[in-house]
Chain A
Amino acid sequence: MQKNKNEVWAFFSSVKLALFTFFVLAVTSIIGTVIQQGKEMQYYVDTFGAGTAKLFQLLNVPDMYNSWWFISLLVLFSINLIVCTIDRFPNIWRLVHLDNLAMDVGRIVKMPKRQAFSSDLPVAEIAQAVEGVSSSWHFERAEKDGGVLFAAQKGNWSRLGVIAVHISILLIFAGAIVGSILGFKGSVMIREGGSVKQIYLRDANNSAMPLDFELRCDRFELELYDTGAPKEFTSDLVVLQDGKEVLKKSIEVNDPLQYGGLTFYQSSYQPLEDGYAIEIENETTKVSKKFFVSPGRPIKWAEESLDFGITNRMGPYAMGRYRHKIWFNDASQKPIEFWTEEGKMVIVERPDTNYTFSIRQLYYTGLQVTKDPGVWFVYFGCAIMLLGLYVAFFLSHKKVWIYISSEESRSRLHLSGTSNKNMIGFENDFSALTELLEQNDSLKLTRE
């Protein structure tokens, strides 16, 4: 390691640099929250003046979180983290695996946290008895300096918590990089009853990207609360591979469809200018059929000898709904006209049979499409971070020693211990152990 310890290494491993980067990242991040991101250049010229706008363009302020200098800061941050972790790892690893029996007895008996006892029993007998004491500590034993040394520890692995936290940040960055290289974002609108074989990427010219399957939308439903606020958007999607249905799913805003590495999110909707779905059922035979209809165009249902069409409309009324005038004729050749409301069922009485008739606005469903193979790295990193934070903050590395030797005419037992943090918690552990030893009849200890 020696040759690495040059100035450059020291610079990149220093916590001073980390504090500096924290500060600079925090302060510069503010810029993008105050200055609107992703607007046309003209907006910045109008708002801030031509000179400032020029400067903004130079520093890529309109897209500052992807700008060269912000990304450089993140790179600096990562290098700092990597170098610091490499730099400190050997020492942390050493502390995890340190042989506590190799510790100098002189230091052990002078630990700030300690308790000495004396006993009339011989050293060997006390040592024997100590091995018989059952506690949550698992003692190891060694003969040392003419006495017997016991050592035990808990939570030595907790020292790795810090490393887990630091590596988790790198994992999250790695996931973000994988996502930005191998992934993409796009969108597509599908007409109810229609299907698509390509999506449009969210790039400068919204280029089309072919899918290696077909995606069909059988139905879109907009549910509203009484107040008119949207309650749920639902699209019934079907994935078709060579014309065959391979997957069907109703998606909602928080419940996307995943297929072939892509995820389709319900994101928006748009009513068709002149598209309606009409559903008719013959009440006698219970035969029904769904038609996609444009106003003014006559439709034929040959099997039932029906002709019908939308001839007029009025509205919109509450919640953007229209009323439609329907022209309707069957084999009896006595056409009628009636008004119907979207979403309401109408019974059309005819000489031969009655029909139920309903009309519904058709929509385009708006889907957000993403491919992000990095997201699992990110989630994994997040999980490691929380775990690491918990370990780093709330677990500690505790050690205790018992040294038994004979001094003058009596035997003495020194109990001592340390913890790398949470001293209050450790003191409780320590006094519990003290009492356990003191109250053990086979040790016959007196506190000094």
Chain B
Amino acid sequence: MTSSQLLGFTTFAYLAASIVYIAIFVFRAKKLGLAASLLILLGFLCNTGGIALRWVESYQMGVGHAPMSNMYESLVFFAWSIAIFYLFLEFKFKNRLIGAFAVPFAFFSMALASLTSPDIKPLIPALQSNWLIAHVVTCFVGYAAFAVAAGLGIMYLLRSTSVDGVKEKNPDSLLATLPGLKVIDDITHKTVVFGFLWLSAGIITGAVWANSAWGTYWSWDPKETWSLITWFVYAGALHARFTKGWGGKRIAWLAIIGFVAVIFTYYGVNYLLSGLHSYGSG
């Protein structure tokens, strides 16, 4: 078994899990709940195994390094983070309907990864740092939370169309099976808060790494700047909530806008702008 096979299998497991989670929601097929959970768990285990195996393989090739150094590896790790974060949410809130809005992100990430080159490349000197690992891990845990928060934001906006003030328009409608608006709003907020802490840590570890490699902790390169923009968006969302009592649709939209900024930071900057970061070559 190679890591590529294992990760290929992961992609299918996440696809299958996404389909089943969506089916649970769309066809009210509660009975499929266990199957969905097992599929995502299976995907997660394969994902974990794939990352571990890839790590081992890189050592066997004599260019050993943690598998977090290029676009492919970061997408694989992104999917892993989304999966574990979602599993945690499902365990904590005992609700599988969130899966329909969160698990597809894990699949998309793996699908995108399969479009980039999976070759294990040796690390250039600047990337040979433990701070890099800390940087990637913290950023992607944050990004995963923001992905799920965006999914929850979409869920909230859909759900809100079925409610008139506080009254259900039609208690039998499909959307009425989703958790109540207050519950979604609360989980979205908690998820954003969690992501914000990790994004902050991600920016900080990135700065420390840059300082140890180049002697500058902040150089306003496009990737850094975009991560700061993302940080401002979420800081704005949090303050609007804490002090102005914003909630509901506005926070749902901000969760979505924030995630668009995340995607741009992560993906857009590499392909549309130029800078120091090395992921673009993937």
Which A residues are within 8 Å of any B CB, using their own CB?
A: 15, 18-19, 22-23, 25-26, 29-30, 32-34, 36-37, 65, 176, 185, 225, 227, 229-233, 252-256, 263, 265-267, 368-370, 372, 375, 378-379, 382, 385-386, 389-390, 393
Contact = CB atoms under 8 A, between A and B. Distances in A.
A252 B233 CA distance: 37
Contacts of A375: 211, 217
Contacts of A65: 220
B225 A253 contact: no
Residue of B131, B207, B220, B226 contacting most chain A CB atoms (<10 Å): B220
Contact of B239 (A19, A34, A252, A385): A19
Nearest to B212: A254
B128 A29 contact: no
A87 to B, nearest CB: 12
10 contacts: A15-B244, A19-B239, A22-B232, A25-B232, A26-B236, A29-B228, A30-B225, A254-B129, A267-B214, A378-B217
Nearest to B269: A33
Interface string B211-240: 111111110101001101100110110011
Interface string B107-137: 0000000000000011011101101000000
B1 interface: no
Contacts of B196: 389, 393
B60 interface: no
Interface residues of B, number: 43
Contacts of B207: 378, 382
Contacts of A385: 200, 204
A389 B220 contact: no
A338 B161 CA distance: 86
B214 A368 contact: yes
Contacts of B244: 15, 19
A368 to B, nearest CB: 5
Nearest to A390: B197
Contacts of B75: none
Contact of A33 (B194, B216, B225): B225
B58 to A, nearest CB: 12
B200 A386 contact: yes
A227 B207 CA distance: 30
A370 to B, nearest CB: 4
A227 B129 CA distance: 21
Given A34-B273, A252-B125, A18 B239 contact: yes
A389 B201 CA distance: 10
The list of the 3 closest CB pairs from A to B, nearest first, reads A253-B125, A370-B215, A33-B222
Contact of A253 (B128, B211, B222, B240): B128
A366 to B, nearest CB: 12
Contacts of B131: 254
B193 interface: yes
Contacts of A372: 215
B38 interface: no
B173 interface: no
B26 interface: no
B193 A22 contact: no
Given A33-B225, A254-B212, A389-B196, 20 more contacts: A19-B239, A19-B244, A22-B233, A25-B232, A26-B233, A29-B232, A30-B225, A30-B229, A32-B220, A230-B125, A253-B213, A256-B212, A263-B215, A372-B215, A378-B217, A385-B200, A386-B197, A386-B201, A389-B200, A390-B197
B232 A265 contact: no
Interface in B30-83: 63
Contacts of B63: 225
Contacts of B239: 15, 18-19, 22
A265 B124 CA distance: 16
**B contacts with A: majority SS:** helix
B208 interface: yes
Contacts of B274: 36
B204 A265 contact: no
A23 B240 CA distance: 12
A138 B197 CA distance: 31
Contact of A29 (B214, B225, B273): B225
B215 A256 contact: yes
Contacts of A233: 125
A25 B232 CA distance: 8
A22 B235 contact: yes
A266 B129 CA distance: 14
Contacts of B208: 379, 382
A266 B125 CA distance: 10
B124 A254 contact: no
Contact of A232 (B121, B128, B197, B200): B128
A33 B240 contact: no
Nearest to B203: A382
A31 B37 CA distance: 44
Contacts of A256: 212, 215
A185 B213 contact: no
A263 B216 CA distance: 11
A370 B216 contact: yes
Contacts of B217: 375, 378
Interface in B237-251: 239-240, 243-244
Given A15-B243, A26-B232, A386-B200, A185 B125 contact: no
B236 A19 contact: yes
B223 to A, nearest CB: 9
A263 B236 CA distance: 37
A253 B126 contact: yes
Contacts of A267: 214
A177 to B, nearest CB: 13
B131 to A, nearest CB: 8
Contacts of B218: 176
A186 to B, nearest CB: 10
